[in-house]
Amino acid sequence: MAYVDETGAPTDNADGGNPDRRRGWQWVMVTAVVTVFVQDLSRSGAAAIELLGNAFGGIVVSDRFSAYNHLATQQRQLCWAHVIRDLTAIAERPGVSGETGLELLALQQQLFVQWHQWKDGTIDWDQLQQSCRPIRQHFEGTLQRVVDLGCARKERTPWAQTVRTCHKLLQRKKAL
């Protein structure tokens, strides 16, 4: 398992490779054995591949950033800290968005109650899967309901932001 992320970082021109002094990116990959940092001028799929290598065979925990979309679905786990941040942003919006965000956060909390019970040995793996199935179905159903309600293509409202976030989460539902 590898945890990856990237963040903007100032990049100097000490090696002559950045004469325009463009903003750079600090990439990180953390495993149980090693932590790797890569400084790059790009925030792209190519930079993600440089970080992970072409033959990475493990599971990558990441945010929803498209640079990681080259990974097979079975190799990708969305970082729940990032997902919770997205759900909190939805919950803080007015109207139906806020109500939907609160519903999704409540479902997320139910999932984690089950996960913690598995982690502390209160339930076994099969019980965890069985108890999470209806929660997951409700979570995905809520995302789908929002996407189905939709918004105008170039709409820039809180609701449109909610629809787009739910759509992106639904696209990666197998990585949740």
Same domain for 86 and 167, yes or no, is yes
Instruction: Clarify whether residues 85 and 122 are in a common domain.
Output: yes
Distance CA 81, CA 63 (A): 9
Residue type, 30: V
Q: Assess whether 152 and 74 both reside in one domain.
A: no
* Residue 69 shares a structural domain with residue 13: yes
Same domain, 58 and 114: no
Do 70 and 97 belong together in one domain?
no
* 102-157 tens-digit pLDDT: 999 999 999 999 999 999 999 999 999 999 999 999 999 999 999 999 999 999 99
CATH code for the domain of 64: 3.30.420.10
Backbone dihedral angles phi then psi of residue 69, each to the nearest 5 degrees: -70, -15
Question: Structure pTM?
Answer: 0.86
Distance CA 139, CA 27 (A): 31
pLDDT digits (tens, 9 = 90+) for 40-63: 888 889 999 988 988 888 999 999
* Number of structural domains in the chain: 2
Spatial distance between the Cα atoms of 22 and 29, rounded to a whole number of angstroms: 23
Dump strand ranges (E) for 102-174: none
Record the tokens describing residue 147, joined without a space.
């996407």
176/167 Cα distance (integer angstroms):
13
Nearest CA to 83 out of 106, 64, 102, 60 is that of 64
What domain range includes position 167? 80-175
